[in-house]
């Protein structure tokens, strides 16, 4: 009997050995609980963003632009630490007439494949963006370009439809403006990634050495690069793509990657702050979150029951007086978002805190003020507010954020909030089809200029289609857009914000911070977390 | 001297074919019918997926709905052709499928065929690894449970089997990851290989996409070790799902076989219980496992989707989730068609095996 048992135990052992055979002679290679950063070798960057296309005409998303920033150059770009566009491929640039913007190129530029980089490539790059006008591309940013001409190999002249466009230098460093090789890219269609790589059509700090789309990209420094970013602080870098923020977090903690950027959850960031093996770095963020009021369908709106413009304004003002932004930023977002008190977030020219001045109690909610505005407008009963949010597009914490807003409003006794959520595709359409009276939205800028938080939103209801239209505000927005004097423009932008705070077309809530996590021995990440919102691998070293 | 050939007694109800010619004729017809049943199966699934994907919205809105004015958005949807009548789109898609054109993914602009071949290899690798785990765990434990029938060890193993089958794979995956990666640090957290290994794979001339095979082929044993260490947890998470089924099946069949006359005869001749189980009883008990193994493919593929997502195992399941989130019709349809074909073909093969074993299943 004992023998039988032994034999059976032998079978168990054999099974165990079979199951563990997979692990034979292995240890955590580059994994496990090693706490050292990914030692020698390339800078390893991890992200949950995804690449759509490496062709600038075929994509308009953070994941694609991140890679483009390493392998292409712009006429103008910003140096690490700032967002002010300065010459990159250009030697100089300026308005040479109200509707004419002239760029002089550096001479002797060569693509990584040996082709000449000159004004022909520049004209070609902009013309093809407009010609292709890809549904997923950024061609819409170039609507102010009437034509591009090339008097000689190093001169490019842009004719503009609207004179004195003060955002044009930003447009030239935006996702619509990477310069591509006219001998490689087709003029009328998007080029597949593999062909771009095969043709070595790169002119940036790096060239792509190997490419597995949305899995792993490896870069090598490009020795002939003469742009504004200079020689990178490392010779090689990689980007590893993740589906799960949790896996991204675990890999940075275990030293499998050197930098984790976009997008860790607020809870993960909070957890990583307590980990001595990594450092959490923050920079100004351009992302904003806000509540939109539909002026037709909101309580007392122009097409709602009991339509009354004054009462509708009082409702918006009461909400503005009651919302506690700081509590949401601290409790829901653990400091990864900051309170936002204006339509233009801090860090941009002219940004002020118009809502802080006009509502609440110096940034804190004020029940007394809320009661007063409603009473003054003759509203005596609690206001029924249908508040919509989206749970799957603006991050997983939206539910908590809006539950907190509901609680803040209802606690006052002045509102009865009916909170509802809808999945994104339906939500994004219904919100602009008058189906939601009050709803959540968010925004990430196309380029680093205050106007990008104004022009798309407010003139004649903007892209929000919320029926807000104030001719005074429209004029102010148009004025700041063409004001060449920086001081005057700053004052104009402040005026716009003050006017917007009076009307409350949208109620600014939060401003996102850029959050990157780096290994303790990794340096230079902080240099690139600036208001340009461009991550440059070239600043990172270890 | 006469030679006695021991033939294990067949399972109850399994009758050996009496005449080759008769069986062959029936089998031929049966195979043809089963083969042609694949087509409507795949067709129905393709149709379902096509219309379901249209219900959940278009990729342009999913990506840019929060940035563009409604009229611009509508124009872009129109330019992409997503506002055309759904039936027209459907028949266009069917026409493409018939010519073998799976199209190009919308969100990352790659030929769907490239997606299928690139990521299919990873899913195949995970499935093989998981099957090894399932068999290595399920069969021995099933034998032990059968031999210790109604004893505490049997009860424990039966409970273990139910637990394996009932535990969602993402939960067991997270548990394994938390224990063996985060707390103990024995295995990597995620991925199919470390960055260094991935890069060395990229430099291979024509990698198969099955990492351990590529590592072996290139004689890179450091890479092989790295790949193996990455493979353990996903394989265990997915393998245990099926191991529970195998365990219970082996146990039930072995118990059934252990009651047979020829086993009793063996006992009376003094053959050891261990020898009876491992030499005589288990072989007939394994026949249904072959059938079930085929049927488990669907379960395995379903589990692979969750396992791959949990462990960042970049296979078809992982990609399917990414594309679903982005409402990429073309990619989702392509992947689902392939998965449907795999399941249908596997079941077809299983049906043939079943028909070979038991002629009564033929029509």
Per-residue confidence in pLDDT tens, chain B, 363 aa: 433 333 344 333 333 334 444 444 577 888 888 888 888 888 898 899 899 888 888 888 888 888 888 888 898 888 888 899 999 999 999 998 888 888 889 888 899 999 999 899 999 999 999 999 999 999 899 989 988 888 999 999 999 999 998 999 999 999 999 999 999 999 999 999 998 888 888 777 667 889 999 898 888 899 999 999 999 999 999 999 889 988 998 898 888 888 888 888 888 888 887 788 777 777 777 777 777 777 777 778 888 889 999 999 999 999 999 998 888 888 999 998 888 888 888 888 888 877 777 666 554
B69–A247: do the CB atoms touch at under 8 Å? no
| pLDDT < 50 stretches in chain A | 1-39
The torsion defined by the Cα of B228, B230, B232 and B234, in degrees rounded to 10, comes to -140
B181–A31: do the CB atoms touch at under 8 Å? yes
Instruction: Report the residue from A19, A23, A190 with minimal CB separation from B136.
Output: A19
B272–A462: do the CB atoms touch at under 8 Å? no
Q: Tell me which residue of A229, A104, A330, A99 sits closest to A535, measured CA to CA.
A: A229
Angle between helices B316-325 and B112-147 (to 10 degrees): 120
Q: Residue B360: its pLDDT value, please?
A: 63
Q: Tell me which residue of B312, B332, B336 sits closest to B59, measured CA to CA.
A: B332
Residues 6+ apart with CB under 8 A from A516: A259, A260, A261, A280, A281, A282, A283, A525, A529, A535
pLDDT digits (tens, 9 = 90+) for A129-185: 999 998 888 998 999 999 999 999 999 999 999 999 999 999 999 999 999 999 999
Does A12 contact B at CB distance below 8 Å? Answer: yes
| H or E element, residue B350 | helix B329-357
Q: Residue A74: its pLDDT value, please?
A: 98
For strands A90-97 and A100-105, give the pairing.
antiparallel
Does A213 contact B at CB distance below 8 Å? Answer: yes
B24 φ/ψ angles, rounded to the nearest 5 degrees: -60, -45
Does A193 contact B at CB distance below 8 Å? Answer: yes
Instruction: Report the residue from B137, B188, B311 with minimal CB separation from A15.
Output: B137
B225–A441: do the CB atoms touch at under 8 Å? no
A279 SS3 class? strand
CA-to-CA dists, residue B131 to A227, B138, B240, B274, B309, angstroms: 53, 10, 9, 25, 19
Contacts A30 to B, Cβ<8 Å: 188, 194-197, 226
Contacts A465 to B, Cβ<8 Å: 69-70
* Alpha carbons B116 and B331: distance in angstroms, whole number: 9
Contacts B229 to A, Cβ<8 Å: 23, 26-29, 31
Whether the CB-CB separation of B232 and B133 falls below 8 Å is answered with no
Token pair belonging to A455: 């022009």
Token pair belonging to B50: 């096509």
Q: Tell me which residue of B358, B239, B359, B347 sits closest to B287, measured CA to CA.
A: B358
Q: Residue B361: its pLDDT value, please?
A: 59
A vs B: CB pairs below 8 A: 215
Contacts B76 to A, Cβ<8 Å: 135
Contacts B77 to A, Cβ<8 Å: 135
Instruction: Report the residue from B65, B144, B196 with minimal CB separation from A12.
Output: B144
Mutate: best of B195, B230, B305, B320, partner A, most A CBs <10 A:
B195
The DSSP secondary-structure symbol of B308 reads: H
Instruction: Report the residue from B108, B189, B197 with minimal CB separation from A213.
Output: B108
Q: Residue A8: its pLDDT value, please?
A: 44
Q: Residue A511: its pLDDT value, please?
A: 96
Q: Residue A9: its pLDDT value, please?
A: 47
- Kindly tell me the burial class for residue B198, based on how many C-beta atoms sit within 10 Å of its own C-beta (0-12, 13-18, 19 or more): buried
Contacts A294 to B, Cβ<8 Å: none
A523 SS3 class? strand
């Amino acid at each position: 009997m004992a023998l039988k048992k032994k034999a059976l135990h032998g079978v168990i052992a054999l099974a165990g050995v079979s199951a563990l055979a997979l692990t034979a002679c292995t240890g955590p290679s580059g994994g496990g609980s090693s706490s050292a950063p990914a030692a020698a070798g390339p800078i390893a960057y991890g992200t949950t963003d995804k690449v759509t296309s490496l062709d600038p005409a075929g994509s308009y998303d953070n994941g694609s632009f991140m890679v483009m920033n390493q392998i292409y150059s712009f006429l103008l770009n910003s140096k690490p630490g700032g967002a002010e566009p300065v010459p990159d491929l250009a030697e100089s640039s300026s308005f040479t007439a109200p509707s004419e913007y002239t760029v002089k190129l550096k001479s002797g530029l060569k693509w990584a494949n040996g082709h000449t980089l000159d004004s022909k490539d520049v004209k070609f790059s902009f013309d093809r963006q407009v010609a292709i006008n890809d549904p997923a591309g950024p061609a819409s940013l170039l609507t102010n370009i009437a034509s591009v001409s090339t008097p000689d190999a190093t001169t490019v002249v842009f004719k503009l439809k609207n004179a004195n466009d003060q955002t044009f230098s930003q447009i030239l460093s935006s996702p619509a403006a990477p310069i591509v090789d006219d001998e490689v890219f087709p003029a009328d269609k998007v080029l597949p990634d593999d062909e771009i790589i095969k043709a070595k059509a790169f002119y940036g700090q790096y060239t792509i050495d190997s490419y597995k789309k949305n899995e792993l990209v490896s870069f090598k420094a490009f020795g002939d690069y003469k742009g504004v970013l200079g020689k990178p602080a490392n010779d090689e870098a990689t980007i590893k793509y993740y589906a799960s923020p949790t896996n991204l977090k675990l890999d940075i903690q275990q030293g499998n990657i050197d930098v984790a950027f976009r997008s860790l959850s607020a809870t993960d960031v909070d957890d990583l702050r307590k980990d001595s093996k990594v450092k959490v770095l923050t920079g100004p963020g351009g992302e904003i979150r806000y509540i939109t009021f539909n002026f037709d369908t909101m309580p007392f709106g122009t097409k709602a029951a009991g339509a009354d413009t004054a009462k509708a304004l009082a409702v918006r003002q009461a909400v503005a007086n009651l919302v506690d932004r700081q509590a949401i930023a601290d409790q829901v977002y653990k400091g990864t978002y900051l309170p936002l008190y204006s339509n233009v977030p801090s860090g941009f020219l002219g940004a002020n805190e118009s809502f802080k001045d006009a509502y609440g109690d110096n940034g804190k909610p004020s029940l007394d003020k809320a009661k007063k505005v409603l009473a003054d407008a003759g509203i005596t009963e609690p206001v029924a507010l249908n508040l919509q949010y989206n749970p799957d597009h603006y991050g997983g914490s939206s539910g908590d954020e809006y539950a907190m807003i509901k609680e803040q409003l209802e606690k006052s006794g002045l509102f009865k909030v009916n909170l509802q959520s809808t999945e994104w595709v339906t939500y994004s359409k219904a919100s602009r089809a008058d189906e939601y009276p009050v709803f959540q939205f968010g925004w990430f800028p196309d380029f680093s200029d205050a106007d990008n938080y104004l022009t798309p939103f407010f003139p004649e209801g903007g892209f929000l289609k919320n029926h807000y239209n104030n001719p005074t505000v429209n004029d102010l927005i148009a004025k700041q857009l063409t004001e060449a004097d920086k001081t005057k423009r700053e004052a104009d932008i402040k005026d716009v914000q003050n006017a917007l705070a009076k009307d409350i077309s949208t109620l600014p809530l939060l401003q996102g911070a850029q959050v990157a996590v780096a290994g303790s021995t990794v340096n230079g990440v902080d240099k690139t977390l600036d208001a340009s919102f461009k991550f440059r691998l070239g600043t990172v070293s270890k | 001297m006469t030679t006695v050939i021991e033939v294990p007694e067949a399972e109850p109800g399994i009758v050996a074919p009496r005449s080759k010619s008769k069986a062959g004729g029936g089998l031929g017809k049966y195979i043809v019918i089963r083969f042609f049943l694949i087509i409507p199966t795949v067709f129905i699934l393709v149709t379902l997926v096509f219309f379901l994907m249209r219900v959940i919205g278009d990729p342009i809105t999913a990506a840019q709905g929060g940035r563009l004015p409604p009229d611009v958005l509508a124009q872009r949807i129109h330019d992409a052709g997503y506002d055309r009548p759904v039936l027209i789109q459907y028949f266009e898609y069917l026409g493409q499928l018939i010519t073998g054109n799976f199209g190009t993914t919308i969100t990352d602009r790659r030929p769907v065929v490239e997606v299928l071949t690139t990521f299919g290899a990873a899913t195949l690798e995970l499935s093989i690894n998981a099957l090894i785990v399932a068999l290595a765990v399920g069969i021995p434990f099933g034998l032990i449970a059968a031999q210790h029938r109604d004893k505490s060890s049997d009860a424990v193993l039966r409970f273990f089997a139910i637990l394996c089958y009932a535990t969602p794979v993402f939960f067991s995956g997270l548990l394994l990851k938390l224990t063996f990666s985060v707390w103990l640090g024995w295995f990597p957290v995620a991925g199919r290989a470390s960055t260094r290994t991935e890069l060395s794979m990229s430099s291979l001339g024509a990698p198969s996409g099955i990492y351990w095979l590529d590592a072996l082929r290139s004689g890179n044993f450091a890479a092989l070790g790295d790949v193996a260490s990455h493979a353990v947890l996903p394989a265990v998470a997915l393998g245990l799902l099926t191991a529970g089924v195998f365990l219970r099946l082996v146990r039930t069949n072995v118990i059934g076989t252990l009651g047979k006359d020829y086993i009793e005869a063996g006992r009376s001749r003094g053959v050891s219980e261990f020898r009876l189980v491992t030499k005589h009883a288990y072989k007939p008990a394994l026949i249904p496992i072959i059938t079930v193994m085929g049927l488990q493919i669907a379960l395995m593929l379903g589990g692979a989707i969750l396992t791959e997502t949990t462990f960042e195992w970049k296979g078809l399941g992982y990609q399917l989730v990414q594309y679903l989130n982005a409402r990429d019709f073309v990619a989702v349809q392509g992947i689902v068609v392939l998965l449907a074909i795999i399941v249908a073909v596997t079941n077809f093969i299983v049906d043939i095996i079943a028909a070979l074993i038991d002629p009564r299943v033929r029509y």
